[in-house]
Structure 1
Amino acid sequence: MDVNGAVAAGFEPVREAFVRNFEVLGDRGAAVTVYRDGRRVVDLWGGSRDVDGGAPWERDTAQIVRSATKGVAAAVLLLLVQRGELDPDAPVGAYWPEYKAAGKERTVVRDLLAHRAGVPVLDRPLTPAEAADPELGAAAVAAQTPVWEPGTDHGYHAQTYSWLTGELVRRVTGRTIGAWIAEEIAGPVGAQLWLGLPAEQAARVGRVGQVETPAQAGALRTRPKRAVADAYADPASLTRRAFAAITPMPDENDPAYRAAALPASNGIATADGLARFYASLIGGVDGGTRLFTPETVELARGERSAGADRVLVVQTRFGLGYMLHGAASPLLSPTSFGHPGRGGALGFADPESGIAFGYVTNGFRSSVTADPRAQALVRAVRTAIVG
């Protein structure tokens, strides 16, 4: 397998793991980037740009990163808190009056970020075209009756996170969340990531698709617990209903879908863009902009939800907008915070070691929070820094 790019001395295990992902774990096309203390120490890419094609992956190839987008969206809200424009303890209805409907008047901003809002499902799912309309999506979630009392429990808001965060940002700033990310995050830190893909960037984005796990990889994976499998199979479960808040599932290769701005699911990034974003949260990148103050880092990684997740049916941990290191989503260490994308992508920062990590792929798997390819790379990073 021809792998392009470079690793700094000591990070050779990451190259070895990346090659093995193609040879054993069935990657078709992928890239991984790692920063340490704001300096790029891993920058690798290989395979084909399209999951079903032969054109080579280039250094600036970008892919849809699914729920890894949630970590970028969370940064918008936390930066608004950092700037004093948003109070995490204020009722959502103070900024978005329509949200007070159907028993949600006591929901606070922290609840949205920590997946405690109680609205992971929509009684009437939206079509892909409806979901792309931010006003329609916001109206649907504002009218939704919670399935548990907000603030009392947690469950992954797989799709509704889009309209919860997007509308709150619009009400506070007057800008769309995609524009805010472009102007206040991606631009200042030089990160190649987009929410609402501009037409001029479309040619660099590869085709994605579902890929079968090879037998060799299957032998290395832990089989899901029966309760998890049953939840995904049951159309009436919160699990199925949460992921089906948009029905049918959008075509992720459709230019119209990529041009929409769904903060829960359709951000597009290069591996370097994802890693550079996380590096900028915990320090200056190449001597440049740092986005989060130390106090905001603590908001991001301070545990707000933990235990049995009512949607994912596993033990999950969340800070404000970020998944935290744990059995369901292993990151680098207990200080790490970040977000996976279902079936592939992963981005996170680890303040203790100064590591920021980004992995993107064009081949999605059935895993939700702990893709074996991303996990192999994380373990290799850990080996590199521990020695």
Structure 2
Amino acid sequence: MSEVHGAVAPGFESVREEFAGVAAHEARDGGAQLAVYHRGRLVADLWGGDGVDGDSLLALYSSAKGATALVTALLVQDGALDLDREVASWWPAFAAEGKGGVTLRQLLAHRSGAIGTADGFTPDELADDRRVAARVAAHRPYWEPDTGHGYHALTFGALVGEVVLRATGRTVQEHYAERIRAPYGLDYHLGLPEELESRFRPALPMLPTPAQQALQAANPVARDGLLAVAFGLHADPPFDAVAYGNSRAVHAAAPLSGGGVGSARGLARMYAAVAGELDGRPPLLKPDVLAEVSRVHSSGTDLVTGERNAFGLGFVPLATRHPELGPAAVGHSGAPGSQSFADPARSLAYSYTRRRFAFAGGPGAPENDRLIRAVTAAADRAAADRADA
């Protein structure tokens, strides 16, 4: 990016400098956004790159899992969902092929083994969570449930969404719009109205370096492996993440594993409502519920990705990846390399978004490491200055 636009609050100038430095190099010609809330106030609102501004809407992929986790946590808080009740008690068909004992807690913690089907999903199916849910319910799990964990990349949202619909009679998207998006005026959408489509800026494919291309060629994904199944790479045609993120059908239906569309401002504001008071309202989640959903439920080697990681209940416990964050920090990344979270210990919320896919997707693009360090350091200085005042 040649130029950074936007503003930061006094004391957060170092965040602007870091964004200018890392985004210019890492996001390359795709553009990126960064938004940060501290103590309920927007303290960084930055953007730059080709055709991207602060109002641009981007495909934010698995960030939708974080919004789904938040809706689910609110329903647990209400008493409408019981974490230790079997999924099949709401949805009898899910009991097929040995999945009858899977609880909602295990499903949220990526422990069900229900990561896909033998022949994958068509693009039309992937835009329709109910079709995905029905096919996965009838299919065998890929490991004995609750004996390990693996990232349910394309099925998590469909499965959790089906439970919510059957338990409450309403979709996750409806709960989200009514209880979170509308009250807080969020520019993050689970179901993008067609009139907002003109603000959307398409996702762009990665531009790997020659060294990265060589590494990729030397380590092809096995078509019969769990990684291929979970990410639809064994399907015919294989899952095309860029086409999926740019699809109007996906934007409209908002499949909950990856169909949300929005801006860094929108996701940062959503997590600000978790991190502390916002607009005079108390945090969305009560302390006991926040403690439960942020607690590590799965850790160690992921059976799908082969990497060491951790999951809470739908959320990722971000302190396991960024130790400078507080123990209750929760959020989720998105495929192009975006990362968003709430750190309640600091009353801090963060969202970094980008258009062009990073070579290594997964837990956010590498520049998040530097940006998060800059943001937490600035927030800690602001808190110290406040204490000394």
Match of 1:52 in 2: none
- The answer for unaligned runs of 5 or more in structure 2 is 382-389
Match of 1:276 in 2: 269
Q: Distance in 2 between matches of 1:93 and 1:23?
A: 49
Amino acid at match of 2:239: P
Per the alignment, do residues 374 and 202 of structure 1 end up closer, same or farther by CA in structure 2, a change over 3 Å counting? Answer: same
Q: Distance in 2 between matches of 1:214 and 1:375?
A: 21
Q: Distance in 1 between matches of 2:192 and 2:272?
A: 22
- The answer for unaligned runs of 5 or more in structure 1 is 50-56
**1:1-387 matches, cutoff 5 A:** 1-27=2-28, 28-49=30-51, 57-213=52-208, 230=219, 233-244=221-232, 247-249=238-240, 251=243, 252-288=245-281, 290-325=283-318, 329-330=321-322, 332-335=324-327, 336-367=329-360, 368-387=362-381
Q: Distance in 2 between matches of 1:342 and 1:366?
A: 10
CA RMSD of aligned residues (A): 2.2
Q: Distance in 1 between matches of 2:221 and 2:172?
A: 33
Post-superposition CA distance 1:355-378 (Å, at most 9, x none):
110111111112221412222211
Amino acid at match of 1:379: R
- Per-residue deviation at 1:106? 0.4
Number of residue pairs matched by the alignment: 370
Q: Distance in 1 between matches of 2:61 and 2:90?
A: 27
CA contact (8 A) 2:128 2:255 kept: no
* Deviation larger for 292-301 or 318-327: 318-327
Per the alignment, do residues 25 and 134 of structure 1 end up closer, same or farther by CA in structure 2, a change over 3 Å counting? Answer: closer
> Any idea what SS the aligned residue of 2:26 has?
coil
* Deviation larger for 127-136 or 262-271: 127-136
Per the alignment, do residues 115 and 12 of structure 1 end up closer, same or farther by CA in structure 2, a change over 3 Å counting? Answer: same
Amino acid at match of 1:234: A
Per the alignment, do residues 25 and 304 of structure 1 end up closer, same or farther by CA in structure 2, a change over 3 Å counting? Answer: same
Amino acid at match of 1:236: D
> Any idea what SS the aligned residue of 1:262 has?
coil
Per the alignment, do residues 144 and 326 of structure 1 end up closer, same or farther by CA in structure 2, a change over 3 Å counting? Answer: farther
TM-score by length of 1: 0.90
- Per-residue deviation at 1:334? 4.5
Match of 1:54 in 2: none
Per the alignment, do residues 257 and 301 of structure 1 end up closer, same or farther by CA in structure 2, a change over 3 Å counting? Answer: same
* Deviation larger for 284-293 or 310-319: 284-293
Post-superposition CA distance 1:257-280 (Å, at most 9, x none):
221221111211110110111110
> Any idea what SS the aligned residue of 2:62 has?
helix
- Per-residue deviation at 1:132? 1.9
- Per-residue deviation at 1:26? 3.7
